[in-house]
Amino acid sequence: MNLHKLNTHIYADGANKESLLKLYADPLIKGLTTNPTLMHKAGVTDFEAFAKDVLLTVKNKSISFEVFDNAFPEMIRQAKKIASWQSNVYVKIPVTNIDKESSAPVIRELSKEGIKLNITAILTLDQVKHVLNALQPGVPAIISVFAGRIADTGCDPEPLMIESKKLTQGRPGVELLWASVREVFNIVQADRCGCDIVTVPHDILGKALKMAGMDLTELSLETVRMFHDDACKAGLRL
């Protein structure tokens, strides 16, 4: 696998400023995404300060920041504020709030105002359909389907991603994103399903950059060496 020859664009998914900016500078990485959970793990406490600091450098690639309120009016207010920060910003809107209420009215209002949206936490084909119906034709939007979480339940996400691609095709400005990558092979799966984007966590990106396309015989030898070296370091005896 040659990462540079994929049709699917690779976005870096994270909120650690140092690694985020390093990946932004890599031509392989076409965009960036964040979310509140990643920010929490990275120790971010001032959302706006963090975002505006990052945006001092991130100028010419897409970057997504997520609203975090549960009430729709406040969600709309936050979205408008986030969108005002810079023209390359996409606003992440969850497909529902925590009360199981569809975010379609929010999506519809914001899309009509021309705000670039990234609809997140999608796991079903019905959700994809509802989101597409709420989007204003021609306004840029990303449909983020959490294929990795689907796989976590024991279901193959590829059929859903293929059907989702059929729904998004022919919709100018709408891109399908394979989210919640768990392993390097998910990047291959996203590409063969025709996804426009795959978001990859920084640690898995590092593994992909090191190991994608690696000769398997050489990898076998490297693995044997690792076991041998670790046995020596541990001082194992029989």
Which residue, chain included where needed, has tokens 């119906």?
133
Instruction: Kindly state the average pLDDT of the residues 202-221.
Output: 93
Beta bridge partners, 176, equal 143
User: What's the whole-number mean pLDDT along residues 174-194?
Assistant: 97
Parallel, antiparallel, or unpaired: how do β-strands 141-145 and 117-122 relate? parallel
31 in any annotated domain: yes
Provide the whole-model pTM: 0.94
DSSP 136: P
Q: Residue 231 corresponds to which tokens in the numbers above?
A: 């046995």
- Mean pLDDT over 137-148 rounds to 98
Note whether residue 8 is domain-resident.
Answer: yes
Contacts of 199 (CB under 8 A, 6+ apart): 11, 12, 13, 33, 144, 177, 178, 179, 180, 181
Which of helix, strand or coil describes residue 74? helix
**Range of 110's domain?**
3-213
Q: What is the mean pLDDT of residues 21-38?
A: 96
**Nearest to residue 150, comparing CAs of 190, 104, 112, 209?**
190
Tell me, what's the pLDDT at 1?
A: 76
Domain assignment present for 173: yes
Determine the pLDDT at residue 80: 98
The pLDDT of residue 93 is 98
Residue 231 forms part of a structural domain: no
How many other C-beta atoms lie within 10 A of the C-beta of residue 103?
A: 24
* CATH of residue 175: 3.20.20.70
Residue 133 in any domain: the answer is yes
Kindly report, residue by residue over 33-72, the tens digit of the pLDDT.
999 999 999 999 999 999 999 999 999 999 999 999 999 9
What was the pLDDT predicted at 2?
Answer: 87
The count of structural domains within the chain is 1
Q: Element (H or E) spanning 12, and its range?
A: strand 9-13
Q: What is the mean pLDDT of residues 200-218?
A: 93
Mean pLDDT of 172-178: 97
Query: What angle, rounded to 10 degrees, do the helices at 125-134 and 104-112 form?
Result: 40
Residue 227: pLDDT band (50, 70, 90) is: very high
Q: Is the pLDDT reported for residue 91 higher than 90?
A: yes
Number of H helices, E strands in the chain: 11, 8
Rounded to an integer, what distance in angstroms lies between the CA atom of residue 30 and that of residue 193? Answer: 19
